[in-house]
Homo-oligomer: A and B are copies of this chain.
Amino acid sequence: MYFYREDLINVIVPDKPDPAAAKVLQETLGGRFGEMRTMMQFFFQSSNFRGTAKPYQDLIRGVFLEEISHVELVQHTINQLLTGSGDPMPGNSGVDGAPLNEAIKHANPHHFIMGAQSSLPVDAAGNPWNGNYVYSHGNLISDLLDNLVLESTGVLQKSRIYEMSTNKTFRETLAFLIVRDNAHQNAFAKALETLGVQWGKLFPVPNYDINKYPECRKYVELGYHNAQFNFRLDATQIAEIFSGQTPSRNGGTLEVVDPPAGFPVPVMPELPNEHSPGLNDLNA
């Protein structure tokens, strides 16, 4: 069973609205290698686990638990990037009479039509998330190799998306997730190490230069690239795998730690031009 405390796993840094950035960040939420996929893939793999090699199941489930918080973090980041786009008043009262005309130019129009300037389960091209993204092979080695590809591609794609806007809200979330994907890459690489693989200098993939992504630095300094947050309320055997020397050539020691203290969930303003939430309508 799953329990919740109303805290985000990382901070939402304020900056101006940027609907074009919100559009591309959707890849990180609902794309083929986004957080919804990692969340659901690890959910299915941990529930479908066979046999008694419990530490591996605990490892996969442990990453799954964090991914729920990642989905939530990206949802809020997208909402922040969208909120306040366009003229705040509905109908023909905007600057040029069309409050959203400019806002949608480089945006996903569904951000303004389906929802009220808020996140969607779609990717950067507007394709809805699809269950066929999830691979639960029922063979532990295949699952671990697949998860390793998934986390590596997570870092890779985020490092590319990072270059699409200088918006601070956007880059802070990406930087945090790049470092965490790096940690999860280490987790699955380490699990394969316990099965006899030696990685040499292969990881991290890609070998991102921290000077190019300065927002990442503080998370690396906190050791987040070598840490696994523990969201279990009961015991877990994850440390039987996630401990000792990192499989990354960047070095360090893997360690299971407590999650971050938590950051406030933003309270989003009402948007009359989107009839959201629309209770004022009711009380008028």
Contact-residue bracket for chain A: 35 or more
CB distance from A48 to the nearest CB of B (A): 4
How many copies of the shown chain assemble into the complex? 6
With beta carbons under 8 angstroms apart, the residue of B108, B195, B233, B269 that contacts A5 is B233
Interface contact B157-A281, CB-CB below 8 Å: no
Residue of B nearest to A69 (CB): B1
Contact B113 A231 (CB under 8 A): no
Cβ–Cβ contact A68 & B2, under 8 A: yes
Q: How far is the CB of A70 from chain B (nearest CB, A)?
A: 10
Closest-CB distance, A191 to chain B (whole angstroms):
11
Residue of B nearest to A193 (CB): B200
User: With A131-B128, A142-B152 given, is the CB distance from A99 to B1 under 8 Å?
Assistant: no
Contacts of A92 in B (CB 8 A): 166, 212-214
Known: A6-B234, A106-B105, A259-B1. A137 touches B156 (CB 8 A): yes
Min CB–CB distance A236 → chain B (angstroms): 9
Q: CA–CA, A7 to B232, complex, Å?
A: 11
A32 with B114: in contact, given A270-B50, A279-B51 (CB under 8 Å)? yes
Interface pair A113/B121, CB less than 8 Å apart: no
Q: State whether A4 and B4 are in contact (beta carbons under 8 Å apart), knowing that A160-B112, A205-B141, A277-B50 are contacts in the complex.
A: no
B130 touches A99 (CB 8 A): no
Nearest CB in chain B: distance from A46 CB, A: 9
Given known pairs A79-B47, A207-B284, A281-B206, the reply for A136 and B120 (CB within 8 Å) is: yes
- Check A220 for interface membership: any CB of B closer than 8 A: no
The 5 closest A-B pairs by CB, nearest first: A91-B212, A116-B138, A196-B200, A128-B131, A207-B281
